[in-house]
Chains A and B, each alone.
Chain A
Amino acid sequence: MTEAVEMKVSDEIAISIQNMNKWYGTFHVLRDIDLTVYRGERIVICGPSGSGKSTLIRCINALEEHQKGRIEVDGTMLSSDIKNIDKIRREVGMVFQHFNLFPHLTILENCTLAPIWVRKIPKKTAEETAMHFLKKVKIPEQADKYPGQLSGGQQQRVAIARSLCMRPRIMLFDEPTSALDPEMIKEVLDTMIELAEEGMTMLCVTHEMGFARQVANRVIFMDEGQIVEQNEPEEFFKNPKSPRTKLFLSQILGH
């Protein structure tokens, strides 16, 4: 591991991961992960496929179980206690590669479901909040449609709005633009940039290096389940230190 670069946006720790290990059966997917995320930080995680980057952020909201080490999110220790897990999931929003909208519910219902049932917010208020965020992702006019009627980019923006409706303090993005046509990537990235400018704590697994340069405070490069290098984006792209990072960057920026 390279020495950790401290780029504090604030002193408040949002996520603290210490010595975290995870296995799939006997396969060691995540090895000795140490990561501290401060409130308001925007972190981009990149790396070759199979390097464990998605698994890492999926461990943060317990979609994947880690076997060793500790994860603390917003002061709550992640354990097998379902109460803690639910508490963390309420505070952490997640956006998936394949959107995972609920196809049997309208856009508006997709956005109000969790606030109503998990946060116990009155339906009316939840709908107002949902419309607010749908306006923010610029698709309020689609509120009564079903996900199947929307384009991929629109669906992903709905997914972002759906997460935001829970008023999360941290947002996780798991390759949010990988399943989109090039034309639609921009609209999703614009939404994410806007979110970043508002000071949301963000962890983003992505290969959009332009986005990383523009938004991230820190870029993390992972390979074979380990954090290989992390640095400010400027430094990271200009002077990658490890040979594996250099190889990776030359491959994805090469064309």
Chain B
Amino acid sequence: MSDTHAESVAFVRETAIPPALPPATVSGPVKWMRDNLFPTWANGLLTVAALYIIYLILSSSLPWLLGGIWNAESLAQCREILQGNSAACFAVLSERWNQLLFGFKYPPELYWRPTLAFVLLFIAAAPVLFFDLPRKLLIFTGIYPFLAYWLIWGGTILTPLIALLGVVVGYLVFNRFVKGSFAAGMFGGVAAALVVWILGGMVFSGADLFSLRSVSSRDLGGFMLNMMLGITCVSLSVPIGIALALGRQSDLPIVKYICVVFIEFIRGVPLITLLFVASVMLSYFFPPERTVDLFLRVVIMITMFSSAYIAEVIRGGLAALPKGQYEAADSLGLDYPQAMRLIILPQALKISIPGIVNIAVGLFKDTTLVSVITLFDIVGMIRGPILASTDWNGVYWELFMFASVLFFIVCYSISQYSQWLERRLATDHR
């Protein structure tokens, strides 16, 4: 280099320098340990201290966990077996297993129905979650809510069939009129569905076809109730949230202000208040003989609550899109629904995935709040019938740990799925 400079300042490169491998360095576990665990004396000491703390925790908790008693009829019997040793009494889980999962009033001989609904859930959810699967599976996803309703609540199959028919007719009418204007399609569809439901209700009232033994909403409970509330509310609140977010951006002042007021009001109120409204207050507005089902009331409240949050997350996603995307869509002649569906929402939702998942996970855990309005979800079951029984009074750790594990499994799966989804949708190559 210095020679070149000595000869002249001007320099022309005649051969390109080929790329070379980095200098060979030590690798393998020894290097990893040296780099990560013992890079300096201080860090080495911290590592040793941390290992000691981990040892302390495991040495006291592992025997407790592994030495747990799984077969006993009551806490007293557990203690008898343990003879003063400290270990978990998991027998409460095996003894009250069904109650924890299904609640204490769901008829035991009918447990297969919600279980079947749960298994079918995976088939129904698959095409929505993994869009590489054949699109025809979505037909089953469409049928699933009605099927699951029939399986869990029982009663005649006509009820869900009429409901499904109403939705289908409404959709057909919507499709027919939406080309004229969106409003015509929307109102036409809703009206058609209502007509089908009312007519169907009148024609088939009292009819008894393919009847399963019916179970009332009050009899649902356990983790099943949490799952039902979580899944129903998440799947309802995402589309409603999208609609609210778009409505908030609308040029139509009425639509815009309805959405703004709704979102701001709901966000300003604690969920627990809404749940009390659902359980106590709403019944004042209905005549005593006609009340809306409690499960439905709770679903409406939780859905309203989370859709307001999801709307704000999606609004953030919409705001993050460059204006050029809207302009490009406009300049190609796409109309508003097409531009939203094909260009704007796919990108805005992709940006919003972490936020939406955050709210979905929070919502799922918040379903345990229904225990304060005397619904016996898993927390309600633990605090109520199980801990209050003379057999198991005092078994806190085991029960709440079990509930935590169940929630953790579901929430961690949701979180892993969302990370997979983000990777799968990453096309920007930043």
* A interface list, Cβ under 8 A from B: 61-63, 82, 86, 89-90, 92-94, 96, 98-105, 113-114, 117-118, 146, 148-149, 162-163, 166
Contact = CB atoms under 8 A, between A and B. Distances in A.
Contacts of B325: 100, 102
Interface residues of B, number: 22
Given A113-B342, A117-B342, A100 B327 contact: yes
Contacts of B347: 102-104
B342 to A, nearest CB: 6
Contact of A118 (B327, B334, B346, B429): B334
B427 A114 contact: no
Interface string B408-430: 00000000000000000101111
25 contacts: A61-B331, A62-B330, A63-B327, A63-B330, A82-B335, A86-B333, A89-B331, A89-B333, A90-B333, A96-B331, A98-B322, A98-B324, A100-B322, A100-B328, A102-B328, A102-B343, A102-B347, A104-B347, A104-B425, A113-B332, A113-B342, A118-B332, A149-B429, A162-B332, A166-B333
Pick the most buried of A103, A162, A163: most chain B CB atoms within 10 A of its CB. A103
Contacts of B428: 103, 146, 148
Given A113-B334, A146-B427, 10 more contacts: A98-B324, A99-B324, A101-B328, A103-B428, A104-B346, A104-B425, A114-B332, A114-B333, A163-B331, A163-B332
Interface string B346-379: 1100100000000000000000000000000000
B338 interface: yes
Nearest to A146: B427
B332 A146 contact: no
A96 to B, nearest CB: 6
Nearest to A148: B429
A63 B328 CA distance: 9
Given A90-B333, A104-B346, A146 B328 contact: no
Contacts, number: 72
Pick the most buried of A82, A89, A100, A148: most chain B CB atoms within 10 A of its CB. A100
A170 to B, nearest CB: 12
Contacts of A163: 331-332
Contacts of A61: 330-331
Contacts of A62: 330
Contact of A93 (B330, B331, B425, B430): B331
Interface in B269-327: 322, 324-325, 327
B331 A94 contact: yes
Interface of B is mostly: helix
B324 A104 contact: no
Contact of A148 (B342, B350, B430): B430
Pick the most buried of A99, A104, A105, A149: most chain B CB atoms within 10 A of its CB. A104
Contacts of A146: 427-429
Interface string B384-408: 0000000000000000000000000
Pick the most buried of A62, A113, A163: most chain B CB atoms within 10 A of its CB. A113
Contacts of B425: 104
A95 to B, nearest CB: 9
A43 B218 CA distance: 74
B230 to A, nearest CB: 29
Given A146-B428, A148-B428, A148-B429, A104 B350 contact: yes
Given A104-B427, A148-B427, A63 B331 contact: yes
A103 B325 CA distance: 9
B314 to A, nearest CB: 16
Interface in B33-68: none
Contacts of B334: 113-114, 117-118
A118 B430 CA distance: 31
A96 B324 contact: yes
Nearest to B427: A146
Contacts of A90: 333
A62 B334 CA distance: 13
Contact of A166 (B332, B350, B427): B332
A162 B334 CA distance: 13
A117 B342 CA distance: 9
A146 B350 CA distance: 16
Contacts of B429: 146, 148-149
B92 to A, nearest CB: 50
A196 B332 CA distance: 20
Contacts of B332: 89, 113-114, 118, 162-163, 166
A63 B329 CA distance: 10
Top 6 closest A-B pairs, CB basis? A100-B328, A148-B429, A100-B324, A114-B332, A89-B333, A94-B331
Contacts of B427: 103-105, 146, 148
Nearest to B430: A148
Nearest to A106: B427
A94 B333 CA distance: 11
A90 B330 CA distance: 10
Contacts of A92: 331
A63 B332 CA distance: 11
A96 B328 contact: yes
